Amino acid sequence: MNSFPLNQQYLRQIFENIQDGIIIMSHKRKILLMNPAARNLTGWIPNDYVPYCTFCQQRKLEKGEGKCYLIAREEIPYFLSEMPTYHGKKINVEMSTALIYDDEESGEKEYLLVLRDQSIKQKEEEARLSKMIIHKLIEAKESEHKRLAQELHDGVGQSLYTISVALEAIESFIQNPKLQNYIDEVRQELTQVMNDVKDYSYKLRPQSLDRLGLVAAIHDLILKVERNNPTIKTTISSNVDYRLPSTVEINLYRVVQEAVHNITKYAMAESIFIELTEYQHKIEMVIRDDGVGFDVESVTKTGLGLKHMDERMNQLGGSCSIHSQPGKGTVIKASVPKGDLFL
Q: What are phi and psi of 316, to 5 degrees?
A: -95, 5
Residue 95: what pLDDT?
A: 86
Report the mean per-residue pLDDT for the chain: 85
CB-count exposure of residue 20 (10 Å: 0-12, 13-18, 19+):
middle
- Residue 261 and residue 309 in contact, taking contact as beta carbons nearer than 8 Å: no
Q: Name which of 51, 48, 21 is nearest 36 in CA terms.
A: 21
Span 128-150, pLDDT tens digits: 777 777 777 777 887 787 787 67
Q: Between 313 and 166, where is the model more confident?
A: 313
How many angstroms separate the CA atoms of 45 and 52, rounded? Answer: 16
Per-residue pLDDT at 76 exceeds 70: no
| C-alpha gyration radius of the chain | 34
**How sure is the predictor about 59, in pLDDT bands with cuts at 50, 70 and 90?**
confident
Residue 87: what pLDDT?
A: 66
As a residue count, the chain comes to 343
pTM beyond 0.85, yes or no: no
In DSSP notation, 39-66 reads: HHHH---TTSBPPPPHHHHHSPPPTT--
- DSSP-derived letter for residue 301 is T
How many angstroms separate the CA atoms of 328 and 275, rounded? Answer: 19
- Residue 272 and residue 287 in contact, taking contact as beta carbons nearer than 8 Å: yes
In DSSP notation, 157-186 reads: HHHHHHHHHHHHHHHTT---HHHHHHHHHH
Span 299-329, pLDDT tens digits: 766 666 788 888 889 888 899 999 999 999 9
- Residue 9 and residue 101 in contact, taking contact as beta carbons nearer than 8 Å: no
Residue 4: what pLDDT?
A: 45
Q: Between 79 and 29, where is the model more confident?
A: 29
- Crossing angle of helices 119-150 and 304-315, in 10° steps, is 100
- DSSP-derived letter for residue 215 is H
- With a pLDDT cut of 90, the percent of the chain lying above it is 35
**How sure is the predictor about 166, in pLDDT bands with cuts at 50, 70 and 90?**
confident
Residue 132: what pLDDT?
A: 78
Q: Between 159 and 22, where is the model more confident?
A: 22
Lateral strand order in the sheet of 271-278: 233-238, 271-278, 282-289, 330-337, 319-324
Span 196-255, pLDDT tens digits: 877 777 778 888 888 899 999 999 999 989 998 999 999 999 999 899 998 899 999 999
The single-letter code of the amino acid at 335 is S
CB-count exposure of residue 133 (10 Å: 0-12, 13-18, 19+):
exposed
- Residue 61 and residue 35 in contact, taking contact as beta carbons nearer than 8 Å: no
- With a pLDDT cut of 70, the percent of the chain lying above it is 94
